Amino acid sequence: MQPLALYIHWPFCLAKCPYCDFNSHVRDKIPEARMVAALRRELAAEAARLAPRRLSSIFFGGGTPSLLAPDNVALLIADATRLFTPAEDIEITLEANPTSVEAGRFAGYAAAGVNRVSIGVQSLDPAALGFLGREHSAAQAIAAIELGAKIFPRLSFDLIYARPGQSVAAWRAELRAALSFAADHLSLYQLTIEAGTKFATLYQRGAFALPDEDLAAALYEATAEEAAQFGLQSYEISNYAKPGRESRHNLAYWRYEDYAGIGPGAHGRLTLRGGLYATSRHRAPEAWAELAEAGASCREDIIPMPDRAREALLMGLRLAEGIARPYFEARTGVALLDAVDPMILEAAIAEGYLVLTDERLTATGEGRQRLDALLPRLAR
């Protein structure tokens, strides 16, 4: 049975963080019942055309899925595991914000079947949490991590670094403190300025500056060193895990495997009618719900050949394991060496950015830091 990863998007947050361009919305009253009914409808529609499939993972992402009532999470998990065939070791992750109210729902999520929590801590420094516009304190974040570690078999949390004025020494100290909590996985993101966010306006006005390229590179190297001290290996550009504790759900994206996405703005990559399709859905929650209620919320576009290879390269080179050449060919229909510019490939190998063997194409640590510049030239 072909495996499937399932993403469920919950598009609401208590407040909009100034750096964030995810599809998240603030409402006085979240229309939870209507949204959950529409999600269940989309799930049934996906199952009708995709099942039987072995469901390897479910990921509740957002937005802030920890605003959802545990009973509704239970309904969605029950639907998904009834409509598809759950793998024995199915991974079920829910993203949570660490306010005390949301931590209070952790036991309910675990009872619903969630076996992995991913907490948006962002920083353990009170001043940085203020700058990032977060709704929780460092103490609340630590309490949520400690509670989460007791309740869920697996736990990850997110931090944002390369913040204005952050030195390598200060980041090492913050990260070491974070690593002392029992997490088997961390997502460590460098702060990026996304168009349309409050930070984009402030940054353009010169209200703050970001670390220059050399400092950003030094911060990245320090991150991998500190994580390794605690047994967490860098397996993707921004993700670190103990061996075997990688996010299986996110690996499906990076390995360019099939995944279904439901909810406002969710996208998927699905094998349908023998072709590979990109699925997408309306981003605005209420407009999306209306379309879902009418059974018309999913747009499908076949992914033509050069795009398929480009996407597989873009995703696979983020991973420390790189790209398996036989799988690449089976998935995209083209041999890996026919999908890349031979001159750029040779130069990138000579520079130490890429490694090519009979089995795999892999980006080195240095290469993974330069992927944004390398990929547009590498892919044909």
Ligand X SMILES: C[S@@+](CC[C@H](N)C(=O)[O-])C[C@H]1O[C@@H](n2cnc3c(N)ncnc32)[C@H](O)[C@@H]1O
Q: Quick check: 191 binds ligand X (CB under 6 A)?
A: yes
Which of these segments, 190-198, 325-333, 342-350, 371-379, binds ligand X (CB under 6 A)? 190-198
**Cα separation, 49 vs 53, whole angstroms:** 10
Residue nearest ligand X, CB atom distance? 120
Among ligand X, ligand SF4, none, partner that 113 touches (CB below 5 to 8 angstroms by kind): none
Quick one: which of 79, 135, 158, 290 contacts ligand X (CB under 6 A)? 158
Residues 6+ apart with CB under 8 A from 102: 64, 66, 67, 96, 144
Question: How far is C-alpha 96 from the chain's CA centre?
Answer: 13
Q: Quick check: 140 binds ligand SF4 (CB under 6 A)?
A: no
Helices 70-83 + 32-50 axis angle, to 10: 10
Which of these segments, 186-194, 214-222, 300-308, 328-336, binds ligand X (CB under 6 A)? 186-194
Which of these segments, 14-22, 251-259, 265-273, 313-321, binds ligand X (CB under 6 A)? 14-22
Which residue's CB is nearer to ligand SF4, number 57 or number 97?
A: 97
Which of these segments, 10-18, 255-263, 321-329, 356-364, binds ligand SF4 (CB under 6 A)? 10-18
Q: Quick check: 189 binds ligand X (CB under 6 A)?
A: yes
Q: Quote the DSSP letter at residue 238.
A: T
**Cα separation, 136 vs 239, whole angstroms:** 23
Pattern 217-236, binding to ligand X, x per CB under 6 A?
--------------------
Q: Quick check: 13 binds ligand SF4 (CB under 6 A)?
A: yes
DSSP, collapsed to helix, strand or coil, labels residue 282 as coil
Order of strands across the sheet with 268-272?
233-236, 239-241, 185-190, 154-161, 116-122, 85-96, 54-62, 3-10, 259-262, 268-272, 275-280, 299-302
Contact 322, 333 (CB under 8 A): no
String of DSSP letters for 172-219: HHHHHHHHTS--SEEEEEE----TTSHHHHHHHTTS-----HHHHHHH
**Cα separation, 345 vs 312, whole angstroms:** 16
Residue with tokens 């991590």: 145
Q: For residues 283-322, which are near ligand SF4 according to CB under 6 A?
A: none
**Cα separation, 256 vs 253, whole angstroms:** 5
Q: Quick check: 66 binds ligand SF4 (CB under 6 A)?
A: no
Which of these segments, 56-64, 171-179, 249-257, 298-306, binds ligand SF4 (CB under 6 A)? 56-64
Which residue's CB is nearer to ligand X, number 200 or number 224?
A: 200
349 CB-contact burial (10 Å; exposed 0-12 / middle 13-18 / buried 19+)? middle
Quick one: which of 10, 36, 47, 64 contacts ligand X (CB under 6 A)? 64
Question: How far is C-alpha 336 from the chain's CA centre?
Answer: 25
**Cα separation, 256 vs 311, whole angstroms:** 8
Direct distance between the N- and C-terminal alpha carbons of the chain, in angstroms, rounded to an integer: 33
Quick one: which of 62, 263, 264, 265 contacts ligand X (CB under 6 A)? 62
Q: Quick check: 86 binds ligand X (CB under 6 A)?
A: no
Q: Quick check: 19 binds ligand X (CB under 6 A)?
A: yes
Which residue's CB is nearer to ligand X, number 120 or number 322?
A: 120
Which residue's CB is nearer to ligand SF4, number 55 or number 119?
A: 119
Q: Quick check: 102 binds ligand X (CB under 6 A)?
A: no
**Cα separation, 252 vs 57, whole angstroms:** 9
Q: Quick check: 63 binds ligand SF4 (CB under 6 A)?
A: yes
Among ligand X, ligand SF4, none, partner that 192 touches (CB below 5 to 8 angstroms by kind): ligand X
Contact 14, 28 (CB under 8 A): no
Which of these segments, 18-26, 225-233, 295-303, 314-322, binds ligand X (CB under 6 A)? 18-26
Q: How far is the CB of 376 from ligand SF4 (least distance, A)?
A: 27
Q: Which residues bind ligand SF4 (CB under 6 A)?
A: 13, 16-17, 20, 22, 24, 62-64, 97, 120
Footprint of ligand X (CB under 6 A): 19-20, 22, 61-62, 64, 95, 97, 120, 122, 158, 160, 189, 191-192, 194
